[in-house]
Every structure is written in C-alpha cells, then in structure tokens.
Structure 1
Amino acid sequence: MKYPLTAIRQKRLEPKITNHGEFCYILTSTFDEEPDASRFSSYYDDPIKVGVAFTLAWAIFGMFIGVWAAAQLAWPSLNFDTAWSSFGRIRPAHTTGVIFGFGGNALIATSFHVVQRTSRARLADQLSPWFVIFGFNLFCLIAVSGYFMGVTQSKEYAEAEWYADLWLVIVWIAYFALFVRTLARRKEPHIYVANWYYLAFIIVVAILHIVNNLAVPVSFGHAKSYTVWPGVQDAMVQWWYGHNAVAFFLTSGFLGMLYYYLPIRAERPIFSYRLSILSFWGITFFYMWAGSHHLHYTALPIWVQNLGMTFSVMLLVPSWASAGNALLTLNGAWHRVRDDATLRFIMMAAFFYGLSTFEGSFMAIRPVNSLSHYTDWTVGHVHAGALGWVAMITFGAFYTLVPSIWKRERM
C-alpha cells in the first residue's frame, strides 16, 4: 500500500521509487511501539489555534455586516432592492455573527486554554475538541445562511430553525462532557473560579437554548416549525432567554476570561478571591429573574415586570463586585498598564463592564425605560457592552494567549 511523502504516526515506512519515478513510502509493518506517554501529558492546543482563527474570521464578517446594516438606516438604497440584503435579513446575520460566531468561538477557544492550565490536565480526548469547534461553526453557518434566505423563527437572538437548533444541542452536550471530563482529570485539587464561570456559561446556555427553542416541525422535510409557547408566554420565554444569553453567554463566560488572563497579564493575584465567588453566585441567581424588564408596558402581568425590574437593580451589586475586583487587582500594577497595551485592553474591558451594567440596571427601571426603549440609546447600550466589554476582553485574552500557544515571546 502506498503513502505520500509525509510523516505517518505509529507506522514503520521505507522509501521507494515507483515505476513513474515518484518518491513514496511503502508500509512494511503494521504498528510500531506504543507512542510515548509524555505526548499525552502536554496540553492539547491545536483546537485552540483553530478556534482563534474562527473567532477572527467571524469578527470580520459580523462587524462588516453590522456596519452595512447601520448604513442602511441612513441610506436605505444600500439594500440594493434584493430580499437577501434587506435590513430585516442582514441584521440577525450581524447579531449572530458577532455574538455567537465571534463571541462563541472566543469562549470555546479560551475555555480549552484556561481549563487545561488551571487544572494542569490535558483535554480529556483528542476528538471531542474538534467536534465542538467545527460543529459549533457549522451551526453558525447554517443559521446565518438561513437568515439571508429568510428561513427564520422571527425570534430575537434565536432565529435559526429547528434542525440547526437540534444540531447545536448535540454539539453543546459534547462541549459540556469534554469540559467536565477535563476537570475530573485535574491534578489541582482546587477548581479555579474562571472554570466556575465557564461551566455556568455552558450549562445555562444549554438550558436556555432548549427551553426557548422548543418547537414542533411541520414535517422532518420542511424547515418551518411552530413554537410550543403561545402568545405573551412566548414573549416572556424569549426574553428570559434573551437576557440570560446576555448574562451567561456575554457575561459569565467572558468573566471567566477576565479572572484568568488579568492576573496573568498584571502578574498579580486577583484582589479578592472571595469577592469573585460572591459575584458568581449573585450573577447566577439574580440574572435568572431579570428578563421581563424588556417587556415593560406590554401585556405581561405588572408583577412580572416589577420582578424583573427589582432583580435588575439588585444585579448592580454582583456586577460591580467583578468590575471592582478587576480594577483593584491593578492596584500596585498601574505602571504595567502604562507600558502594556494588552493590559490596557483588559482594563478598559473592566471599565466598560462596570459602566454597561450600571446603565443596564437603571434602564430596567420603568420610568427610565419609557425614555430609552425603541431609541438609539438601547442600541448604544448594547454596543458599549459588545465592543467595550466583550471585544476588549477577548482581544486582551487573545494577545495573552496567542504568543503562549504559538511559542513566541510577544505578538
């Protein structure tokens, strides 16, 4: 049997010239001795490198589509009179490209990096990381292409049809299993707090996705489906999902980044580990009740609106606990902020996290919401969180991670 001129693991090969003058290797024995066990004791970073590449690709795509959508608000003719490029189709392509494509790949890549380093254990196997990375990006591709074609559920942040939703559940179960199995193999008795945040992100996003996207397909050969939630219940479930996607996708997971990469870059321990745990449980509990503040002045019962408003204001405490914890970590290290551009990204992310959560808590109050809702203030608030917090902490993390896994001294 002939093999090309490449190294083939675990097989003894001999060089030979073929009748056509082509140089190749001939397999002479089935397997060599077992691979060195040390190969499995080192960290498995190849999937992380691919995740970084996917993150940057989705960032370019998602932000380009966002600028295009914004430009259409000023120059409507930029939809070129075609259905696929209309605002209603490219806008969800933008949000999915940025939140799930850019943000999701950043979270998966950094979670693989952080869980190995803080556990001093290699990823549990070599197949699951690739399935998670490529499976998740396949979901993003199916969802975005569906938006351009007009195949959606007409839901905020959760518009992909039932077959894409089902595929994501399979990928996410594999992700959860891989993360937990890696933690179970840890050589470190303590589970560092960054892994708490990543694990909350993985578990709660699975719950949110499944409950919000419960639907009955018209048929298995048709993309269309019907939600199981009728009327105002559908709106409530949608914003329970929508705001908790902010909580656990765009907050909890990225706080996992903050609590690992900030101390690494600042070369200082986190200011208060206990404060990070307080923040974790506060965010995990309070956020679950806050979604109804998106539905003020609607048919939703007033007590449910009040519940969401109250918990939203209470959220300021655990949110500022993490923002303050990050900034206090830099006490005694501000000279490093002056000299290290990467640390400035992380510092600005902490600032924007504090500012965005302050603004969000007060925008949830009904009289304030009456001024802000359906205005550009809401759009600006979202982008302060997305560009100021999510993107800044992602690039701060990447500027720390990339030289490490590519074995370079600096970027």
Structure 2
Amino acid sequence: MIAQLTTNERQFAMVMLIVLAVAGLVLAAAGRDDLLGGQGLLIFLVGLGGIFGIISKYYSPEPTEARFAYYYDDPTKAGIVIAMVWAVIGMFVGDWVAWQLVYPDLAFDAAWSSFGRLRPVHTTSVIFGFGGNALIATSLYVLQRTSRARLPDQLSPWFVLFGYNLFCLLAVTGYMMGITQSKEYAEPEWYADIWLVIVWVVYFAIYMRTLARRKEPHIYVANWYYMAFILVVAILHIVNNLAVPVSFGHAKSYSSFSGVQDAMTQWWYGHNAVAFFLTAGFLGMMYYYLPKRANRPIFSYRLSIISFWGITFFYMWAGSHHLHYTALPHWVQTLGMTFSVMLLVPSWASAANALLTLNGAWDKVRDDATLRFMMVAAVFYGLSTFEGSFMAIRTVNALSHYTDWTVGHVHAGALGWVAMITFGAIYASVPWLWKREGMYSAQLVEVHFWLAVAGTIVYVFSMWNSGIIQGLMWRTYNESGTLAYSFIESVVAMRPYYIARAIGGLLFLIGAIVGCYNIWMTIRTAPQVAREPVSNAPDSVLVGTPALQPGE
C-alpha cells in the first residue's frame, strides 16, 4: 500500500499520522477520566503504528506513471477483507447477547459484558463495520468501472478506509467502557463524531473528483444511490450529533436538543440512517452487481431513476412514525405514517426492477449461489419495505411497538436484504479483483447461502411470533378491567422464541465464517496477473445500450 504512494503522498501521510498521534496523546494526557484517557491512548497507538509503517517503506521506489492506465482496486480489496472481519466479530457478539437473553449468566460479572454494552457493539460492528466497509469498497469499484476513470489519487482512499475503521474501533471500545451519548441509537462521543465528519468529507470528495474525470457522459444509477448515501448520511450525522462537550478533558457531552425535539431529531436520524445507509447504499450495490452477475440489462433504467427520487423524497418525512402515542404532535405522527405508506411504491419499484431483470436468467439463479444471494436479497427488500409501511400505520403500531416484532422486522432487512446483497456482491467481486475464474469452492458458497437463508428464516419467524404474543399479552385485560398478565409473565413466555432466535443467529454466523474461509482461500490461490486497464470497455450490459450512451 505505502509503496504505491508518491513521495509527496508519503510525506503528507506522515504529517497526518503525526497530527493524529499528537491528538491522541493530548487526549490521553488531558483526559480527566480514565475513559477519555483510554480512547486517547488508542488513537495515539494507531497513529504511531501508521508512522512506523510509513517509515518502513518511505524510500521505496516512486510509482511509475503507468499506474494511471489501470484501475486502483487495492483499497477495494482491503475493504472487502476488513468487512468480512467485522461481519464475524459483529455476528459473534450479536449471537452472544441473544444467548444472554436465554441464559443471563453469560454476562459474567464484568460490566463490559453486559447486554446494555454489548448490544451497541453488535449493531455498530455489523451495520458500520461490515456494512460500511462493504459500501466503501464496492462504491470505489463501481465508481471506476461505470465512469471509466481511475480514482484521483492513491492516498485519500486509504485515508477514508483506515480513518473510517478507526472511528468504528473507537465506537465499539467506547461502548464496552460505557462511553455513549445515551440515545436510542447508541452514539460514540464528540471526538469520534468530529473524526468521522473529516473522513466522510474526504470520501464525498473522492466520489465527486472521480466523476468529474469520468470518460462516460452518463452517471449510472448505482452512483446516484451511492452519492445519496454519502451526502445524506453526512447531514444526518452532523445534525443528530450536535453536542457541547463538558470540557476538552471529559468524554461526556450534552446534546443540543432535549425533550420531544430530541426524540424527533433522533428518529429523523434513525429512520433516515435506515433509508440512506441501509437502503440507498445497498440499492447502489444491487443496481450494479445483480445485472452484471446475471449478464442481463437492468429491466427498466427509467424505473430505477423514478424509484430513486421517490425513495429520496419520501423517506425524509417518515421518521416520526416511530413516535406514535407520544408527546409528538398528532399531525406530525400522521405525516410520518402517510409518507411511510406512500414509500411502499418506490421501494417495491426497486425490488420489482431487480427481480424482473432476472427474466431470462432464472437458470443462472438456479445454478449460481452468488446470484441467488442477490435474488433473495431483492425478495427480502420487498418484504421488509411492505412490513415497514404496514407497521407504520398507527393501529398496527399500537400492537407492534416496543415488542420483538420490531426486532424481527429489523433483522428481516438486516439479514435478508443488507447481508444477502453484500455477500452476493463480495462473492462476485473477489474473483474479479483477484483474477480468478470463480471462488475457491462453489460448494462452500452454496453452504453459506443455505445457512444464511435458514438462519434468517428461523430468526425472523421466531421474532414475529414472540412480538405478536408480547403485544397481545400486554393489552389483554381480565373481567375486572386489570391486566391479565404481568410483565414478567410475558418475559417468561418469550424464552422458547429467544432460544430459536439465538439458534438462527448462530446459523448465520457459521455461514459468515464459511464465507471468510472461502474468500481467504480464493485470495491465497490467486495468480499474479496484470491490473485491469481503465481503457477497457465499460459495463454497458448494465443498461443494454452502446458504450458511449449507457443510460439513454
């Protein structure tokens, strides 16, 4: 990696790492509590490790100008590997906390192992660690191919990749130490938030600089979704995390919002994080990898654009449906419910577009587990968006809210949609990037697919059942007009479903481990071949039209 940087880039990287190490040292020294001191020490060690890495390769030969004739895929390769590492970590922690709900003693006596601290470790690891790294890696790959343009430099992609993972590391270690802003979606503290803003601005700049250099006149729709994901997530992150630190020496900060305003801001952030991180970004992935793998043009390019604008506009208004029956004004709740129901139209348009693209290629779906991952992802996307719109209706929400039905809905989207399309994209990308005819073992891809499908179904169905039973038990009254069941009775009734949920999660985790082994063996046995030149013809099969007019 370092040998690929120019001398100027190495010098700039050295300066940035020194600044990072000094900042970490200052935080560690100025911290008036052990929590901030520990985080500062972690930042210092990361910066120091980077400095030694630069020094070790500082005098490597200058890269030749010939590099500009080839796509720059090394950041994508690293991002895929890191994503799979986070997947295993996050899914392991997730299954651990699932078993804690069955056997509470699995929390041990240590505070860091409690459910309250490990749950955000799980969500951050799988959403931001696994999903975020996969989005960064695939977006850089797709951006270059659909633009026929190399990334603008060698340093900024690595800064984004490693800077982003430093943020994830600060988040998960902070949660285990008890550092959190105590919001519905647990958030890291102010110093990590500021760092992520810097990283994210560089990420957006990479995208815009590459598009400005593109040789294709048209911006393919996958890039629209990726750019919406990058831009809107930045806005959401900044607004939701507006806070005032107690002091430079404390990890604690105070939110700029309070009361119902804080709740509305939180769910504007929360639901749009689902919209633009977990939906728009992965739709960008789907719109490239599914037609590419099926070797079929997208069913309707115009429909993909219409659904893009529908999703982008409708989702922004839907967050308040999480606050039915609260102090939020009734009209705001109704507005969120209405837009959530309307959101079904553009969402199903994307799901239908993906499935109709497979017309004439169902034999490939039958024989190719990688494409089957993507097909199942499209099915679960349609299912999850229908369920989300349905659960946003106030009368349905009265039954479902605060129950495990919501957990089942979330994981139908997370496992069935996000993870499935990501695994499909990774299985497609690895042979392309490492120049193999296919994965190390097609049979292991099949094994992973069926473990993932089985785990998802067991998980989601167990949570649907437990959630509906919870909702019914909480609203059942006896003849005297009092509650028929105590809360603890509803908790005891959930135990069989929690066991099933933990088993489903375990199956999904085993599938991810199988995938890691398959990817590792594919990389290990990859031949040494030339890089892919930028001058290659673009992926015009995506839209089924001539190379110079891919979207017309």
User: Does TM, normalized by the shorter one, top 0.5?
Assistant: yes
Give RMSD over aligned pairs.
1.7
Residue ranges of structure 2 left out of the alignment (5+ in a row): 8-58, 440-552
Q: Which residue of 2 aligns with 1:301?
A: 329
Q: Which residue of 2 aligns with 1:40?
A: 68
Q: Which residue of 2 aligns with 1:25?
A: none
Q: Which residue of 1 aligns with 2:102?
A: 74
Q: Which residue of 1 aligns with 2:201?
A: 173
Q: Which residue of 2 aligns with 1:209?
A: 237
Q: Which residue of 2 aligns with 1:321?
A: 349
For 1:36 and 1:223, the matched residues in 2 are separated by 45
Residue 116, structure 1, aligned to residue 144, structure 2: yes
Q: How far apart are 1:374 and its partner, in Å?
A: 1.2
- Alpha carbons of 1:98 and 1:275: their partners in 2 closer, same or farther (altered >3 Å)? same
Q: Which residue of 1 aligns with 2:475?
A: none
- Alpha carbons of 1:8 and 1:156: their partners in 2 closer, same or farther (altered >3 Å)? closer
Q: TM-score, normalised by structure 1?
A: 0.92
Q: How far apart are 1:8 and its partner, in Å?
A: 9.9
Aligned counterpart for 1:51 among listed residues 79, 86, 96: 79
Aligned counterpart for 2:407 among listed residues 372, 379, 397: 379
Q: How far apart are 1:36 and its partner, in Å?
A: 4.6
Q: Which residue of 2 aligns with 1:157?
A: 185
Tell me if structure 2 keeps the 8 A contact 1:158–1:213.
no
Aligned counterpart for 1:107 among listed residues 131, 135, 138: 135
Tell me if structure 1 keeps the 8 A contact 2:4–2:154.
no
Q: Which residue of 1 aligns with 2:378?
A: 350
For 2:186 and 2:236, the matched residues in 1 are separated by 10
Q: TM-score, normalised by structure 2?
A: 0.68
For 1:8 and 1:42, the matched residues in 2 are separated by 13
Tell me if structure 2 keeps the 8 A contact 1:40–1:122.
yes
1:105-254 correspondence runs (5 A): 105-254=133-282
- Alpha carbons of 1:221 and 1:10: their partners in 2 closer, same or farther (altered >3 Å)? closer
- Alpha carbons of 1:41 and 1:83: their partners in 2 closer, same or farther (altered >3 Å)? same
Tell me if structure 1 keeps the 8 A contact 2:228–2:276.
yes
Once the two structures are overlaid, the 10-residue window that deviates more, 155-164 or 307-316, is: 155-164
Q: Secondary structure at the match of 1:223?
A: coil
Q: Secondary structure at the match of 2:174?
A: helix
Q: How far apart are 1:82 and its partner, in Å?
A: 1.6
Tell me if structure 2 keeps the 8 A contact 1:352–1:389.
yes
One-letter amino acid matched to 2:404: D
Q: Secondary structure at the match of 2:110?
A: coil
Q: Deviations over 1:129-149 (max 9, x none)?
A: 000000000000000000000
- Alpha carbons of 1:372 and 1:125: their partners in 2 closer, same or farther (altered >3 Å)? same
Residue 341, structure 1, aligned to residue 366, structure 2: no
Residue ranges of structure 1 left out of the alignment (5+ in a row): 1-6, 12-29
Q: Secondary structure at the match of 1:146?
A: helix
Q: How far apart are 1:230 and its partner, in Å?
A: 1.6
Q: Which residue of 2 aligns with 1:262?
A: 290
Q: Secondary structure at the match of 2:150?
A: coil
- Alpha carbons of 1:55 and 1:215: their partners in 2 closer, same or farther (altered >3 Å)? same
Tell me if structure 1 keeps the 8 A contact 2:164–2:196.
yes
Q: How far apart are 1:81 and its partner, in Å?
A: 2.0
One-letter amino acid matched to 1:261: Y
Identity %: 80
Q: Secondary structure at the match of 1:44?
A: coil
- Alpha carbons of 1:134 and 1:10: their partners in 2 closer, same or farther (altered >3 Å)? closer
Q: Which residue of 2 aligns with 1:367?
A: 395
For 1:369 and 1:293, the matched residues in 2 are separated by 9
Tell me if structure 2 keeps the 8 A contact 1:41–1:121.
no
Once the two structures are overlaid, the 10-residue window that deviates more, 73-82 or 378-387, is: 73-82
For 1:8 and 1:88, the matched residues in 2 are separated by 43
Q: How far apart are 1:401 and its partner, in Å?
A: 0.7
1:4-23 correspondence runs (5 A): none
Q: Deviations over 1:327-380 (max 9, x none)?
A: 000011111111111110000000000000000000000110111111111101
Residue 410, structure 1, aligned to residue 430, structure 2: no
One-letter amino acid matched to 1:127: L
One-letter amino acid matched to 1:134: F
For 1:103 and 1:58, the matched residues in 2 are separated by 9
Q: How far apart are 1:266 and its partner, in Å?
A: 0.5
Q: Deviations over 1:95-148 (max 9, x none)?
A: 111110010000000000000000001011100000000000000000000000
Q: How far apart are 1:313 and its partner, in Å?
A: 0.2
Tell me if structure 2 keeps the 8 A contact 1:293–1:309.
yes
One-letter amino acid matched to 1:271: F
Q: How far apart are 1:10 and its partner, in Å?
A: 9.4
Q: How far apart are 1:37 and its partner, in Å?
A: 3.3
Q: How far apart are 1:201 and its partner, in Å?
A: 0.1
Q: Which residue of 1 aligns with 2:449?
A: none
For 1:69 and 1:277, the matched residues in 2 are separated by 40
Q: How far apart are 1:38 and its partner, in Å?
A: 3.0
- Larger relative helix fraction: 2
Tell me if structure 2 keeps the 8 A contact 1:257–1:393.
yes
Q: Deviations over 1:360-407 (max 9, x none)?
A: 000000110111111111101100000000000001101111100111
One-letter amino acid matched to 2:207: F
Q: Which residue of 2 aligns with 1:17?
A: none
Aligned counterpart for 1:401 among listed residues 425, 429, 447: 429
One-letter amino acid matched to 1:240: W
For 1:65 and 1:254, the matched residues in 2 are separated by 23
For 2:280 and 2:184, the matched residues in 1 are separated by 20
Query: Could you say which structure has the greater relative contact order, defined with CA pairs below 8 angstroms and 6 or more residues apart?
Result: 2
Tell me if structure 2 keeps the 8 A contact 1:96–1:157.
no
Tell me if structure 1 keeps the 8 A contact 2:314–2:343.
yes
Q: How far apart are 1:157 and its partner, in Å?
A: 2.7
Q: How far apart are 1:39 and its partner, in Å?
A: 1.5
Q: Secondary structure at the match of 2:297?
A: coil
One-letter amino acid matched to 2:112: W
Tell me if structure 1 keeps the 8 A contact 2:4–2:63.
no
- Alpha carbons of 1:54 and 1:31: their partners in 2 closer, same or farther (altered >3 Å)? closer
